């Protein structure tokens, strides 16, 4: 769904009194009268639904933003009539002191209130029975403090939580199935949701790579929001009773948004990781507000980019097994059979990731051929004569650095893994010193 919002600009107009007068006397009535009388504005032109009510009105005053009285940027309601048409919603905000000051951030924020009835996602410090100020959603949403990014010239987008609430997202991806997903930056029509058993509580995942409207965010990567439509961003406590309605789960576990007023910093978003990033036992965790395990596990996050891949699942429990062996086996010279060394993996499961290290002392690396054989008999050649005349061979390989290892993904890991080492040329000789396997499985 798209919202197209077009404004007609009228003015400038000079009001009858000095600016300070309008701190306690809302300027809307006087400014609107001038617009109607001197600029021939016909309010009926701005009644898209034909209900005798003006859709939206915004007033911008010259000078710096004054955080005082009626000049404090705000959205509210005023009923003024002109014939048989009346006003309703309006916003007010500043233009700045000079052309260079003009920015869209606050205008966009107040328009968010006016057009979509978005609530604020920052923490006022004195609402909903809470008197402590925190950062709420900080700079991560237009409706929090994100309207001020880049001096208000590149305000943050509206976060997934609010976009979803008002029905902007006509595509929903449910993350409860154990699978690999891809979050696309700027795909504002899609919401990625992990459901809990409670209708009001859920988790949302969004790509907040530093580009486009996110260019000036304090961090880059994957955002995970813990949402409760019955919560309030006044409540930074994180308790079953008092918690945010939309909390950014800050990857660094520092809870800075809850405890400070910095608005965000590096480490808030999830960066690339092979293993588990978020689960019921990580810090921070993915538990529901009442402390129960939501089942949300996020792992295997790709690097921050326009598309970020990640894994999730209701029951996914990544496990890691590591075995190191001191083989200390001489490698027979010029011998097709070679030697075998085995590492037996005890637990059962299917392979998610593998890292293999091999240390061989040898006087001529080019003689060597090294293969890893899975319990199923599947073979991946790790080394085949590369390096020629160099001494010794030290391998440290994983599927990211050495793509043939992708062959092992999904393999049943239980049983003996064989390292097959052969010296295929005469004269130079060597020894298999050590080798190790680190296997992530599920
Ligand atoms: Zn606001």
Domains and CATH numbers, the chain: 19-116 (no CATH), 138-313 (no CATH), 319-441 (2.60.120.260)
Residue with tokens 């992708």: 406
Lay out the sheet containing 393-397: strands in order across.
Answer: 319-331, 430-441, 351-362, 393-397
- Kindly indicate the confidence band of residue 315, based on its pLDDT and cuts at 50, 70 and 90: very low
Residue with tokens 């010259």: 62
Residue 314 has pLDDT above 50, yes or no: no
Residue 184 has pLDDT above 90, yes or no: yes
Expressed in angstroms and rounded, the spacing between residue 51 Cα and the centre of ligand 1 is: 27
pLDDT tens for each residue of 221-265: 999 999 999 999 989 989 999 999 999 999 998 899 998 888 999
Task: Please give the distance of CA 406 from its chain centroid, rounded to a whole number.
Answer: 27
Expressed in angstroms and rounded, the spacing between residue 315 Cα and the centre of ligand 1 is: 39
Expressed in angstroms and rounded, the spacing between residue 98 Cα and the centre of ligand 1 is: 24
Expressed in angstroms and rounded, the spacing between residue 237 Cα and the centre of ligand 1 is: 22
Expressed in angstroms and rounded, the spacing between residue 242 Cα and the centre of ligand 1 is: 21
Expressed in angstroms and rounded, the spacing between residue 73 Cα and the centre of ligand 1 is: 8
Pairing of strands 58-62, 89-96: parallel
Residue with tokens 């005890």: 346
More confident residue, 59 or 283: 59
pLDDT tens for each residue of 202-220: 999 999 999 999 999 999 9
CB-neighbour burial class of residue 167 (10 A; exposed 0-12, middle 13-18, buried 19+): exposed
pTM: 0.71
**130 HSE (CA, 13 A, CB side):** 22
Expressed in angstroms and rounded, the spacing between residue 85 Cα and the centre of ligand 1 is: 27
Please state whether the peptide bond connecting residue 12 to the residue before it is cis, i.e. omega within 30 degrees of 0.
yes
Residue 352 has pLDDT above 90, yes or no: no
H or E element, residue 191:
strand 190-195
Expressed in angstroms and rounded, the spacing between residue 216 Cα and the centre of ligand 1 is: 20
What whole-number distance in Å separates Cα of residue 341 and Cα of residue 328?
Answer: 10
Q: Are 206 and 192 in contact (CB under 8 A)?
A: yes
More confident residue, 227 or 318: 227
């Amino acid at each position: 769904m798209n919202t197209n919002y077009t404004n007609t600009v009228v003015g400038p107009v000079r009001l009858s009194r000095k600016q300070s007068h309008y701190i306690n006397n809302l300027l809307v009535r006087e400014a609107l009268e001038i617009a109607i009388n001197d600029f021939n504005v016909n309010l009926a032109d701005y009644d898209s639904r034909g209900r005798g009510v003006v859709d939206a009105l915004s007033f911008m005053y010259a000078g710096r933003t004054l955080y005082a009285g009626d000049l404090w940027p705000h959205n509210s309601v005023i009923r003024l009539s002109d014939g048989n048409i009346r006003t309703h919603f309006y916003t007010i905000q500043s233009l700045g002191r000079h052309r260079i000051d003009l920015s869209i951030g606050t205008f966009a924020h107040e328009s968010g209130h006016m057009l979509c009835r978005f609530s604020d996602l920052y923490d006022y410090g004195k609402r909903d029975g809470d008197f402590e100020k925190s950062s709420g959603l900080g700079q991560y949403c237009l409706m929090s403090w994100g309207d001020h990014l880049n001096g208000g010239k590149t305000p943050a987008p509206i976060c997934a939580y609010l976009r979803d609430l008002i029905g902007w997202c006509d595509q929903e991806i449910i993350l409860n199935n154990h699978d690999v997903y891809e979050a696309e930056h700027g795909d504002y029509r899609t919401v990625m949701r992990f459901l809990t058993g409670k209708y009001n509580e859920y988790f949302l995942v969004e790509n907040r790579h530093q580009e486009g409207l996110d260019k000036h965010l304090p961090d880059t990567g994957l955002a995970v929001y813990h949402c409760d439509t019955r919560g309030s961003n006044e409540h930074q406590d994180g308790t079953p009773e008092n918690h945010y309605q939309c909390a950014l789960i800050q990857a660094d576990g520092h809870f800075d948004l809850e405890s400070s007023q910095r608005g965000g910093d590096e480490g808030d978003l999830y960066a690339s990781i092979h293993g588990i990033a978020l689960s019921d036992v990580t810090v921070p965790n993915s538990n529901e507000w009442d402390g129960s395990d939501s089942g949300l596990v996020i792992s295997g996050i790709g690097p921050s980019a326009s598309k970020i891949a990640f894994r999730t699942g209701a029951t996914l429990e990544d496990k890691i097994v590591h075995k190191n062996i001191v083989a200390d086996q001489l490698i027979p010279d010029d011998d097709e059979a070679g030697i075998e060394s085995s590492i037996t993996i005890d637990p059962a499961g299917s392979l998610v990731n593998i890292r293999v290290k091999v240390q061989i002392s040898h006087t001529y690396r080019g003689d060597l051929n090294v293969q890893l054989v899975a319990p199923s008999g599947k073979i991946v050649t790790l080394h085949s004569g590369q390096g020629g005349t160099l001494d010794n061979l030290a391998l440290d390989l994983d599927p990211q650095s050495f793509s043939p290892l992708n062959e092992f993904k999904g393999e049943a890991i239980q049983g003996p893994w064989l390292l097959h080492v052969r010296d295929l040329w005469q004269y130079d000789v060597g020894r298999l010193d050590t080798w190790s396997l680190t296997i992530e499985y599920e």
